[in-house]
Every structure is written in C-alpha cells, then in structure tokens.
C-alpha cells in the first residue's frame, strides 16, 4: 500500500517507503535503515498518544519484544515509547500472514501443516522461556517466512513477573483465539493460555475455521468458555495433540515444551479427517464433541491412577466414540508423553 496524505515521510530518522497495514492501535510502515536494511515500523495512532494507560502498555510491548527476539519472532531494531507519537521498529519479515495464506489457498495440510505446528510450538517455547506470555496468538500475528513461521505483535503480551494491565472497560484479545481464562479473568492468565490459543490456531490452519466459530463475538466467547471444540475436519492424528491444548482447565494442557515433543513425534503425512463424504464435516463435528468429553474423562482418570494405585486405569472409549482403534492408541501414547 502506498503512503497516504498525512502519513509522515520518516519516523525516528527512518525514511518510510510504504504502508504495510493498519489496525485499531497503530499503523505499520516499511522503512529502511541507513545501510538499506528493511524494517517494519509500528506507529501508534495519535488518539492514543496522550493516554497514559496506553503508553504503559506500549512500553510493556517494547520490553516484551526485546526479551523474546530470536529465530521465531521479529527482533526489535529501535523504539521510542516516549515520543510524542510512540513507535517501534523491528526486522521486516517477508511473507504472508497465516490469515492471508488461508484466504488465498485454503487450509494447510500434510507435511506443511506439521512444519507449521512445530514452528509455532518452537516460537511459543522460546517466548515462555524468557518469562513472557503473548496473549494474542491469532492468524494475523503469524507471518509465514521462508525460514518458517514467525510470531509477531506483542501488543498485549506481558512478562510473567509483571503486573497485568487491562485497558479499562475493554476485553483485550480476539475471542475465537482466546482461552477461557482470558475471557473470564484476564489478569490471571499464564503460559497455558497461549497453548490454548495455539490449539485454536492449528485447528484454523487445518480447516480454515476456528474450533469455536459462531455468528457473533459474544456467542464465540460463550462457546470458548462452555462448549467443546468442533474438530471434525482436523486430521485424526493431529487431533490427538490438539485436544489437550483446548482443555478448559489450564492445568490440563501440555506446556509448550511438552507440546513440541508431541508434534515432533507425528509422522510427516498427518492424513485426513475422520470419515469421508459430503456429511463428514457435520457428523465429525458432533462426534468430536463426544470424543473430546471422553478424552477429558480418560485423562483425568489416568492422571489420578498415576498417583493413586486404588484408581483403576481408564478404559478405552466405548462404542460410538468414533475415532477408531488406531487413532485411540495414538491418542493414549501422546497423552502419556505429556502427562506430568
């Protein structure tokens, strides 16, 4: 996108070349360093510049981005959160976002889906290792670079040891990709909230829609908190990994490190969704809710059995569970790998 009338010619001494995009909080421009290296500069909208609460959030974003910069994110090149109009420059990552990729080509599958899942888990592992919770993993915040996926935009992230700031009167985040606890008690979210969001991202990548999609953000939020995910079109072998990520209780989810182990164990060809035919998606969605409930019961009982010898191990799913013996065995093996 070309620069528009009213856009600055330069920011912090970096000449601007074009617009990359604009959102509710700011506009992102492509610029160049003195040596000619491309950078992406995020300029906060003028109406927020005088908002003290927002400035605190932007300082936190800059600090978080500096802590996690590495192979799986965008490194901070320069920033001035105290400027009249705050800004931050990061390395420019060339490539479509996951949202753009799905819009252009449809769902991701096979080896490409496996690589995407592993790359996102690696990014989340590195983010969490430096004590940061991203809190806004969504398709538009994942850039598919030639080297692999990069997680960008730490605008609502926070350090685990940092006081959480919630904009007064606003829900911060994107409901289809938010965790139940982020919707209910945003001040208390931890790394497991990002794991839930990653689970929704993988469903979106594999199917083109989220596991809790609804007609309105309010209905979506309700389904995130109260309903089981719709996973019918997700490849069975990947579903066994995704289901634990979407557990309603944070402590029931794997960590990013544990998730990475599970994903690396998956075969290159993830296969297809359960069943074929025109009605597979609809029927599969209904079956998945039942299977997910059964999985939760099995996992809870299995965890109890591992610490209490008086608790019998969980039996396999009963008739009608719908996953088949092969996927059930895979699910049990994967769950054993990440269960504490």
Active site residues: 136
Q: How far apart are CA 192 and CA 189, in angstroms?
A: 8
* CA separation for the pair 302, 279 (Å, rounded): 33
Q: Which residue has the tokens 């802590």?
A: 67
* Tokens 């105290």 found at: 82
Joined tokens for residue 183:
């919707």
State in Å, rounded, how far the first CA of the chain is from the last one: 49
Of 68, 69, 86, 88, which Cα lies nearest the Cα of 78?
A: 88
Cβ count near 265 (within 10 Å) = 12
Cα 260 from Cα 257, distance rounded (Å) = 5
CB 50 within 8 A of CB 62: no
d(CA 229, CA 3): 42
Please name the helix (run of DSSP H) or strand (run of DSSP E) that holds residue 250, with its range, or none.
none
Contacts of 270 (CB under 8 A, 6+ apart): 109, 110, 113, 114, 235, 237, 238
Task: Please check whether residue 203 is in contact with residue 177, taking contact to mean a CB–CB distance below 8 angstroms.
Answer: no
């Amino acid at each position: 996108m070309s620069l528009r009338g009213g856009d600055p010619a330069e920011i912090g001494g970096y000449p601007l070349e074009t617009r990359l995009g604009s959102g509710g909080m700011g506009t992102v421009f492509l610029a160049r360093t003195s040596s000619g290296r491309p950078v992406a500069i995020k300029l906060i909208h003028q109406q927020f510049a005088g908002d003290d609460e927002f400035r605190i959030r932007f300082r936190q974003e800059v600090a978080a981005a500096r802590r996690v910069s590495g192979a799986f994110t965008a490194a901070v090149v320069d920033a001035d959160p105290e400027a009249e109009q705050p800004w931050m420059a990061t390395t420019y990552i060339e490539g479509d976002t996951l949202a753009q990729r799905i819009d252009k080509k449809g769902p991701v599958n096979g080896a490409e889906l496996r690589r995407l899942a592993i790359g996102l888990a690696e990014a989340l592992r590195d983010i969490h290792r430096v004590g940061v919770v991203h809190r806004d993993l969504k398709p538009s915040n994942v850039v598919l670079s030639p080297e692999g996926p990069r997680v960008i935009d730490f605008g609502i992230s926070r350090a685990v040891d940092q006081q959480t700031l919630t904009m007064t009167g606003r829900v911060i985040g994107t409901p289809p990709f938010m965790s139940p606890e982020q919707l209910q008690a945003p001040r208390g979210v931890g790394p497991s909230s990002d794991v839930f969001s990653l689970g929704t991202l993988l469903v979106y990548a594999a199917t083109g829609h989220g596991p809790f999609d609804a007609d309105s953000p309010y209905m979506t939020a309700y389904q995130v908190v109260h309903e089981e995910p719709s996973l019918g079109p997700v490849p069975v072998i990947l579903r066994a990994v995704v289901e634990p990520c979407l557990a309603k209780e944070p402590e029931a989810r794997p960590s990013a490190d544990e998730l990475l182990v599970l994903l690396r164990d998956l075969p290159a060809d993830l296969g297809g969704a359960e069943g074929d035919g025109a009605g597979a998606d609809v029927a599969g969605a209904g079956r998945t809710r039942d299977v997910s409930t059964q999985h939760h019961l099995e996992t809870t009982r299995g965890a109890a059995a591992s610490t209490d010898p008086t608790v019998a191990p969980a039996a396999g799913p009963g008739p009608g569970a719908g996953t088949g013996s092969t996927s059930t065995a895979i699910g049990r093996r994967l769950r054993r790998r990440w269960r504490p």
